[in-house]
Structure 1
Amino acid sequence: MTMIEGRSSILEQFPHVLASPEKLSKAIDPFTVTTSTGFLPFKLPPAYLPDAFKPLESLLTRAPVVKDDGSPGLLATYGLGPAVLAELPDLTDEVDKLVAEDGKPDLVAVTAVFRDYSFLCSAYLLEPCYERWVKSPEDGYGLGRDLLPRSIARPIYRCAQLLDIPPFMSYAAAYALYNYTVGDPSLGLEYSNLRLIRAFERGLDPKSSEAGFILTHVDMVKESPALVNGAVRILSRLEKGKDEAAREEVNEAFREILRGMERIGTCMEVMWKNSKPADYLSFRVFIFGITSQAMFPNGVIYDGVLDNKPLNFRGESGANDSMIPLLDHLLEISMPSTPLTKILHEFRAYRPLPHREFLAHVASKAKEVGVQQFAVQDSETVLLYLKALDHVRSFRWRHWLFTREYIIRRTPYPTATGGSPIVTWLPNQLFAVLELMISIHDKYVAPFTNKEIPTVVETNGSGTATPTTAGQKKVEKLESFFYYKAQVEEMMATVRDQKDKLDREVARWCKERGV
């Protein structure tokens, strides 16, 4: 990975972005973005809590439907709720005792405590829904508990205050990206070496579908450093100027992003094997939110928090991941002005604070320096830009296929875990990138790929062709041209075909469901 040199406003804004993770203090948010760790935490999430939180840890160890030793847990007998009320004290004061060497809050430890309270919160609130789903799945989920006991409500709220995120299960700081450890430290983040810390159903078995679902996300995000570094390189260089010297640096940064997205796509495709579609609904019950969900028509009261007013929070969702939003912002992909895009904006609050700040800066800086405009002014850069868009399209298309096969075909419940409408939510974003690709291709790429190709060899005075250096360069240019031309033609055929298919599929599912 080529590192950028010098300093620019993005490096001044994010002084840790080039730092070695092992040198970072536990007093900063573990999701501080670096070019070494990307959007993963900069150090392995703690698998165990400080001794003061042993009652919480005990409940979570006994909670899963199938425990680590293979025996039934509290959720298997629907006994978690009573156990919480009987055993868990209010440990809010212990949260404020989690301090780093400099006396500031130890945010690495606070995030681990937040993760564990998030699991207990969701398991407690949704346990009745799981029981109903197991006993009578055709009758839906019923109602969840609408009062969260203060022994959960106050500590999770205090952790959330320290981390500046909502006090509910989130994708990064709880369910997925802070919920993994490794079996053998020497093997690092190889997929086969990843293990879950917390699970609802059978996820403590690393070969289970629940573990596969979560750990596949970790496996993808471990490739995010290439996206972060590529974005930093592009924005830093364009801030300095847009001369020809900038062109190759920007192009190479785009190539780094493309290589990273290739690896992410490979990891993503293995989801089908790691987590079986037929198993998903059984553990999905526990990651629903409160907002827009039939299980919580009146919200949830957090006892002892905010004058006991009913609260609403969106549920865990892969839409809270930061990789594709980073590319949305860097590539200046505009979303339509719809209620669905408003939900997309609401999801931002559930990302860790460092992710939110980094993405917001990329969005404003990409617009300021004109990444898209710079890209379309050069035949090579515009092709790299179009290929980056294609990776966003491919990611979102796979996500749509997962949603269709894991959820839409298997349940009539109309709402995703995050509270968005299940049929129309992903197509809202996917249509945006499909339409931008068509626009960029037709306006900037098609004229280039349809132009005349110059003579590729030079002749001597007698008219005989000779392999001169200039002629060889023209041959190489011609070969490169036809290589890209074939790629573009295949790419755009896929784009137009998928747009037509998506139109038909969304219309059919909406008609069948009366949407």
Structure 2
Amino acid sequence: MPIRPLESYDVSAERGFLCKYEAGEVTLPSAFAEARDVALRLPQILPTGRTRTLLLDKLPDTIRQGDVDALSDAEARMAMVHYSFMVQAYVWGDAEAPSVLPRQLARPISWLADRLGQQPLLPYSGYVLDNWARFDAAGPIDLDNVYMIQNFASGLDEAWFVLVHVAIEAAAGEALAAFGPVIEAVETGDAGTVQHRLEAMAGVWAKINAIFDRMPEQCDPYIYFERVRPYIHGWKDNPALPDGIIYEGVSAHDGQPVAFRGQTGSQSSIVPAMDALLGVGHAADPMRTYLDELHIYRPPHHRAFIDDVREASGLRDFVRRAGSRGLIDAYNGLTQAVADFRTRHLEYAASYINRQSRMAAGNDTDVGTGGTPFMKYLKKHRDETRARMLQLA
């Protein structure tokens, strides 16, 4: 069966999975104004070494669940951006990680997460998808026209790291828009349309890979590891917080510590959506379990898109049955483009993380921000993608 129209999944050809509203124009109600001001001052607060003291001193404990319930979708997502950055700064901004997240942060972030169907810490959507704006609102969403709204340290390397992901997400929209037509063409047996669409999608992935190639231009590996990465870790499978964190005043946890995985590019929905369309599967092992677990960290509409594509796509079997050289080459070309992206991700993980020599508390060179041995994970999934190439019978 066909998938639903793209916009019903909060996805568009122009923006991909990026927020559909102009985030830079979103204002928050007065109840959230003080918290937003504090969040935007994180680049001034973090260097003091007194992050927790200053956050508790400046943050009001006046937000109520009704205030969160009254927010529009855009307002709730913008508030989530600011609160999730403050939560991360509170946990990782001082020398040792705390065992308790105070109610001034714990309750609003939990209410916002429940409202948005996500987890109560910094997600990829808050770090990237909802955290950008354009200098020229009529201009393109590319690297010479976007800026980061909320920062931790506010350095060039931090902004470039995030904005490269923003540009990739925007570029992917054109490929995502072809999913429905490809699935429909498979159902009607229109091999010519399938081949044409796959070839066009491979062209989009060439653009995506070219954007990804630009990461080293203004994001240095050492600066990333020391000044960007420390703030985006989670507290599941993290030795600095072996028991997780108590969310003070959140009745759902009954005063018990809870653990959540940190923000990671693997929470992006682009590659999992491509896997779903292409019929790329991953072997059942601990890394597959981790991949499945990451799914709940994506926005609900994006999870539904991936699930529906996986259910609807018969692309791989169709290409195998049709058996023409042109169609197989188109399928393999697109699959290779995704594998190339995974190869570059693996290379960056090695240079930006694994080869760095210093290992501070919670910032392990062998463990990703999501809490897993990422080098093994990335290599495995790259190899499994390559293994899905088809041969002409």
Q: Is the 8 A contact 1:258 1:387 kept in 2?
A: yes
Matched, 1:249 2:193: yes
Name the counterpart of 1:84.
Answer: 55
1:378 to 324, 336, 343: 324
2:345 to 399, 402, 413: 399
Deviation at 1:202, TM superposition (A): 2.6
Q: Is the 8 A contact 1:147 1:303 kept in 2?
A: yes
Name the counterpart of 1:327.
Answer: 274
Mark the runs of 5 or more structure 2 residues left unpaired by the alignment.
none
**What root-mean-square deviation, in Å, do the aligned CA atoms of Structure 1 and Structure 2 show?**
1.7
Deviation at 1:319, TM superposition (A): 0.4
Q: Distance in 1 between matches of 2:35 and 2:122?
A: 16
Deviation at 1:317, TM superposition (A): 0.1
Q: Distance in 1 between matches of 2:385 and 2:159?
A: 31
Name the counterpart of 2:11.
Answer: 33
Name the counterpart of 2:30.
Answer: 51
1:295 to 240, 262, 268: 240
Deviation at 1:94, TM superposition (A): 5.4
What is the 5 A alignment of 1:320-469? 320-366=267-313, 370-376=314-320, 377-411=323-357, 413=364, 414-437=366-389, 440=390, 444-445=391-392
2:40 to 61, 64, 79: 61
Name the counterpart of 2:230.
Answer: 285
Q: Distance in 1 between matches of 2:386 and 2:181?
A: 26
Name the counterpart of 1:125.
Answer: 91
SS in 2 for 1:423: helix
2:265 to 318, 335, 345: 318
1:16 to 4, 7, 29: 7
* Identity value in percent: 26
Matched, 1:185 2:157: no
Q: Distance in 2 between matches of 1:284 and 1:429?
A: 23
Q: Is the 8 A contact 1:302 1:308 kept in 2?
A: yes
Q: 1:329 to 1:295 in 2, by over 3 A?
A: same
SS in 1 for 2:378: helix
Q: Distance in 1 between matches of 2:356 and 2:27?
A: 36
SS in 2 for 1:334: coil
Alpha-carbon deviations, 1:329-350, whole Å to 9, x = none?
1110110111011101111111
The residue type equivalent to 1:384 in the other structure is A
Larger radius of gyration: 1
Deviation at 1:98, TM superposition (A): 3.0
Q: Is the 8 A contact 1:227 1:323 kept in 2?
A: no
Bigger shift: 111-120 or 417-426? 417-426
SS in 2 for 1:355: helix
What is the 5 A alignment of 1:95-244? 95-96=67-68, 98-99=70-71, 106-129=72-95, 143-172=96-125, 174-203=126-155, 208-239=156-187, 241-242=188-189
Q: Is the 8 A contact 1:16 1:32 kept in 2?
A: yes
Q: Is the 8 A contact 2:278 2:316 kept in 1?
A: yes
TM-score by length of 2: 0.92
Deviation at 1:33, TM superposition (A): 1.6
Deviation at 1:128, TM superposition (A): 1.9
Where relative contact order (Cα < 8 A, 6+ residues apart) is larger, the structure is 2
Deviation at 1:229, TM superposition (A): 1.4
Moved over 6 A (4+): none
SS in 2 for 1:96: helix
Q: Distance in 1 between matches of 2:22 and 2:41?
A: 23
Alpha-carbon deviations, 1:256-307, whole Å to 9, x = none?
2112111101111000103111211122100000001111111100011121
Alpha-carbon deviations, 1:149-182, whole Å to 9, x = none?
111111111111111111111012x111111112
Q: Is the 8 A contact 1:288 1:417 kept in 2?
A: yes
Tell me the matched-pair count: 380
Deviation at 1:254, TM superposition (A): 0.8
SS in 2 for 1:185: coil
SS in 2 for 1:188: coil
Q: Distance in 2 between matches of 1:250 and 1:263?
A: 20
Q: Distance in 1 between matches of 2:109 and 2:278?
A: 36
Q: Is the 8 A contact 2:27 2:75 kept in 1?
A: no
Q: Distance in 2 between matches of 1:190 and 1:291?
A: 34
The residue type equivalent to 1:10 in the other structure is I
Q: Distance in 1 between matches of 2:2 and 2:240?
A: 46
SS in 1 for 2:162: helix
